[in-house]
Structure 1
């Protein structure tokens, strides 16, 4: 007979390592899958998943079944841990010229970012065809998740200019890769 999620959480709250082990085994693939979907890399996703289970262990006593199911609670914890990780990564200093050099050279110097791109050479070639300002805006928005306002501040340009650079750069990339905006197709 399978132990309920609530019973496992109660065991975790009481400090039972067997309950924690059973809980992790039950949900490790779902937690890891969500972490990968948010942070991208598998090593980072491992760290996020571990942090999510540590937080679940720490806050197991505060779980309230009236507010949602155990899986929803755990995936919310995972999502929050992943977002914290992404935010920390975004706060790292960067040099747009170095970033563009990495993406436009023929040698990959940062495989963690490049491995997420299906066809690196095509993306590099398309980025090289963009004006430097548009390429920087697209990379900062797409890879690093910066908002147009953040890009405008970092590039020291008006907000409208940053938005235009992103829009034009993405439009040119869509044309290069022959991506259609037509949703009926």
Structure 2
């Protein structure tokens, strides 16, 4: 197809394009991840392939290798043509705020989770299960009351009393 394209056969070139464009686009995208820029380079590559098809030597490379080399080189040229980004001295980073959690935040969170688990363990099992379902699993009072086969008011009382006892354990340090 490439040799026929060298003779000006547009249909052969179309077939060559259809068979190679996806692979060449992938080569370019690995170098230039911005899709629009990669598409522009792909177009340049096929213009070059059309113009230079007569220089293709099947004894030196396969058609796809030859075209992939052109694509790779064009993408690298485009990358090198970008203006260099200014670099700031590393000392400038000292003044930047870190929005991430503090180093000890995970430790504090795990300690709080352990205290909550201990406080829940001190409750009557039905009350603890109701609190877990409502607060940790997102189950509504109505759904849980139906599941437990109790009136909604009773379920709310379980949760309220359980939360009050948990608060006592947490504030009193008993947990």
| Structure with more relative contact order (C-alpha pairs < 8 Å, separation 6 or more) | 2
Query: TM-score, length-normalised on structure 1?
Result: 0.46
Query: TM-score, length-normalised on structure 2?
Result: 0.49
